[in-house]
Chain A
C-alpha cells in the first residue's frame, strides 16, 4: 500500500466521519425537540393553572385531589369520546362557579337532566371531542365541520342571542317537542313553521305537501350541496339558509317559494332549525317522553280536517290552496302568493279581459305553467273548478252585501 493511496483513503474517511457526526447532532436536536414537545403539551399548562386556582379558592387539600393527565368522557351509547375535560377541569366542581374558563364549573340546572357522563360535551356544544389542543378541540380547524357552537360563532354571524347556536344541537333529541324549556330560538322557529304553513309545500317530520323538497332530513345535507354563486361574502351553509329564508328568489330565481319577509333573527332561527334535522341514531332513553313522532296539535288537525272536508275540499285536495285562499269556502292559503279565488270570477275578467271559463280552459302566464306541470287537471276537473268558483263567488257577494247592510 503506497503512501499517496493511504492519504486518499483517509480523506474520504474523515469526510464520512464528519458527516456522521453532523447528522448525529441534528438527530439529537430533533429528538430533543420532540421529547420536549411531548413533555410540555398545552393542556398541562391549563392543568397546572387549574390546580393553583383550586388552591387559591378551596385550599391545598382540595387542590391535591385534582387529577392529572389526559381526561376523557366516553359515552358508548352515543359513540362519543370527549377530551374537553382535560382542560375544562372544573366542570363538576363545586365552588368554581365564578372562575374564568376553562376552569369554570358547568351551570348546574341543566346537568341534572343532562349529566356529563351520559351526554359528553360535543353532542350539545359541538367541537372536536377527539382533540387535545384548544384550536382543533374548538373545531376551528381545517377539515372539521362541527365548530364549537358558542360565543365566537354567534359573534361571527351577528346572532344577538349568544346561546342561540347551541340550540341547534339540543334539537337533535328535542326535535319532536313543540316547545322546550330554554330553547327559545328553536321554539320560535317551530312556531313559524306552523304559523306560515310551511307544510303546505314541504314534508317536515314526515307530514306535508310535495310541492317543495322534503325537509325531514335537511340537516343531513353537506355544505357542498348548495349553490353559493349569489352569496356575497362568506360561503357557508348557515349563510345560505339565512339568505334563502329572507328572500328565496335572491338565491334561486326560478323558485316558487315566496318571500315571507322574515327578520334576520327569525331567518337565523329557521336556519338553525332546519340544520338540526339530522338522521340521528339515538338510544330510546335519550328521546324526551319517548316521543318519536311529530304529532299535530288538536288545533292543527281540526283546521286541516275542516279544510279537507269542508265545501272547499276540492281546492285543498288539488293543492291550489298552497297559493290561493278561497275565503268564502273556508280555504286558507298556506302562503298568500296568489289572489283569493273567491273573487276569481270578477278578477279574471278585469285582469285578463276573459271569462273565468275561458281562462281555466286555456290559461296563460304563471297559471299556464302551474296547471301544465305542478297541478295537471283533466277537463272534467276544470269544469268542476269553474262550478265551485262560481259558487264561491256567489257566497262572497252575499257576504259583502251583509257587511254593507250591517253598516
Chain B
C-alpha cells in the first residue's frame, strides 16, 4: 500500500496537466514537476515569439537529444576496432532492422546540429542577446562564453564521430584535420600525437575518438547545456524580456498579498509597496503550462520529422574501407572545417626564401583569433542596455555589419571548399564536371 502511494507520488512528479483550468493549476504544474520546474511560471510573449529566437537553441537541443537516442542504439551495434568497424557499419546498413535509418538520422542530425548551433550564435549576436539588460544580477556574457564552448564541443563531437565508420571519407578527413593541428609551431607534432595516440591513424586513434565521441564530449555538452539554461533563469530570462520591460511605463502596483519567510516561520501580510514594471504582466505574459510546453513539443516534433525526412532523402554515405595507401583526390576535411582548409591552401605563400605556412595561419592562428575575438566582444560592446534583445539595434549597426561580414566570408569559403573544389583542390564551377576517378573494373 505504502509502495503504491510512493509510486503515485513519483508519478505525479513526472506528469502535469495539459490543460490547466486556473492559473494556480498552471503554476503548480511547473512548481511540482521535476521535469518542468526549471521553466518560469510565466513567460513573456516576446520570449515565446518565433521571430525573436527562431527557437534555434531549442532545435539544437532537440538535435542533441536525437543524437543521444540514436547514438545509444548505435553503440550496441558498432564495434570500435580497426578490423570490425567498417563491416559493423555495413551490417548496420544492410541487416539491422531500421539500421540504415538510425545511422542516417544520426548523421544528418550531426550535420544539422553544427549548422543550427552556428545559426543560434548568429541570432544571439544580431539580437545583442549576450548583453546585460535591466534585470538585476544578470551576467549574459558568461552565457555567451558557455555558448562558444558548446559550439566548439559540438564541432569536436562531429569531428570525432566522423572517423568511426573507418571508410575512406572518414580516414582522410581525419588525416587532413589532424595534419592541420600538427602545423602549430613547436608543439604541433605533439598535439597530433596526443590526438591520435600515435603517429598514424590506427586503432589507438579510433578508440580515443570513440571514447570522446560516445562519453566525454556528450556529457560535457549536457552539463554545459544545463548550466546554459540555468544561466538564462539567473539572467532574468531571454534578453527580449528585458527589452519588453523597458517599453512599459512604471506604475504603482497594487499591494500584493504575500507570504514572508522569517526566522519565526511564515507570516502573512502584504508586500512592500513599490513601483514595479509588472503592470502589463497580464497582457504581456502567458503561462508556461501549457503554452511554452506546447511550443517546445511542437519544435521537438517538427525537428524530428524534418530530420527523418532529410535522412530518407540524403542517406548516410559509406565509402570504400579505409586504405592508408590510397589518397582520394580531393581529400577533404569535414565540411564545417572546409573554410579553414580553403584558407590553408590560399595562404600558403612563397616570398623569396620565406614560406608562409598556410596550415599554421589558417589552421591555428585564425581560429584562435576568432575564438578570442568572440570571447572578448561582449565586454567591449559599448552599446546601451536598450540594445539587448532586439534585432539589428541601430546602436549596434557597425558591430552587426562586422559580424555578418565575418560570417559571410566563412560561409562563402565553406561553400567553395565543399562544392567548388575538385581533384588537386582545383576550382570547378557547378556546371563543370570533375574528371572521373578511375575504378578497378
Chain A interface (Cβ < 8 Å from any Cβ of B): 1-2, 5, 9, 12-13, 16-17, 19-20, 23-24, 26-27, 30, 33-34, 38, 70, 81, 83, 130-133, 143-147, 153, 157, 222-226, 228, 235-238, 240, 275
Name 4 extra pairs, CB < 8 A, besides A27-B304, A235-B439: A23-B298, A223-B439, A224-B328, A226-B438
0/1 per residue, B298-329, Cβ < 8 Å to A?
10011011001100100001111001011111
Query: B421 at interface (Cβ–Cβ under 8 A)?
Result: no
Query: B286 at interface (Cβ–Cβ under 8 A)?
Result: yes
Residues on A with beta carbons closer than 8 Å to the beta carbon of B317: 143
Chain B interface (Cβ < 8 Å from any Cβ of A): 87, 90-91, 93-95, 97-98, 101, 167-168, 282-283, 286, 291, 294-295, 297-298, 301-302, 304-305, 308-309, 312, 317-320, 323, 325-329, 436-441
List 23 A-B residue pairs with CB atoms under 8 Å apart, sorted by A's residue number. A5-B282, A12-B291, A16-B291, A16-B298, A20-B294, A26-B305, A27-B305, A30-B309, A34-B312, A70-B95, A81-B91, A83-B95, A143-B168, A143-B319, A157-B441, A222-B440, A223-B440, A224-B326, A235-B438, A236-B439, A236-B440, A238-B440, A240-B438
CB distance from A261 to the nearest CB of B (A): 25
Complex Cα–Cα for A194 and B297 (A): 75
* A130-B301 contact given A30-B312, A38-B97, A145-B440, CB 8 Å threshold: no
Complex Cα–Cα for A9 and B42 (A): 14
| A237 and B305 contact, CB distance less than 8 A | no
The 9 closest A-B pairs by CB, nearest first: A223-B438, A130-B90, A235-B438, A143-B319, A222-B326, A132-B94, A27-B305, A145-B440, A23-B302
Residues on B with beta carbons closer than 8 Å to the beta carbon of A19: 298, 302
| B438 and A130 contact, CB distance less than 8 A | no
Complex Cα–Cα for A145 and B439 (A): 7
| A237 and B291 contact, CB distance less than 8 A | no
| A34 and B436 contact, CB distance less than 8 A | no
Complex Cα–Cα for A275 and B441 (A): 11
In the complex, which residue of chain B has the Cβ closest to the Cβ of A223? B438
Residues on A with beta carbons closer than 8 Å to the beta carbon of B323: 222
Chain A interface, >50% SS class: helix
Residues on B with beta carbons closer than 8 Å to the beta carbon of A237: 438-441
Complex Cα–Cα for A131 and B87 (A): 11
Residues on A with beta carbons closer than 8 Å to the beta carbon of B320: 143-145
Residues on A with beta carbons closer than 8 Å to the beta carbon of B318: 143
Q: Which of B87, B94, B305 interacts with A30 by CB under 8 Å? A: B305
Complex Cα–Cα for A338 and B170 (A): 51
Complex Cα–Cα for A146 and B327 (A): 18
* A13-B291 contact given A34-B101, A145-B440, CB 8 Å threshold: yes
| B286 and A147 contact, CB distance less than 8 A | no
Residues on B with beta carbons closer than 8 Å to the beta carbon of A83: 94-95
Q: Which of A5, A16, A38 interacts with B98 by CB under 8 Å? A: A38
Residues on A with beta carbons closer than 8 Å to the beta carbon of B94: 83, 130-133
In the complex, which residue of chain A has the Cβ closest to the Cβ of B303? A23
CB distance from B14 to the nearest CB of A (A): 22
| B297 and A20 contact, CB distance less than 8 A | yes
CB distance from A24 to the nearest CB of B (A): 7
* A224-B441 contact given A23-B301, A143-B319, CB 8 Å threshold: no
Residues on A with beta carbons closer than 8 Å to the beta carbon of B440: 145-146, 222-223, 236-238, 275
| B439 and A1 contact, CB distance less than 8 A | no
In the complex, which residue of chain B has the Cβ closest to the Cβ of A140? B441
Complex Cα–Cα for A9 and B292 (A): 12
* A236-B302 contact given A38-B98, A130-B91, A130-B94, CB 8 Å threshold: no
CB distance from A195 to the nearest CB of B (A): 27
Q: Which of A23, A38, A226 interacts with B305 by CB under 8 Å? A: A23
Complex Cα–Cα for A275 and B440 (A): 9
Complex Cα–Cα for A90 and B301 (A): 47
Complex Cα–Cα for A5 and B283 (A): 6
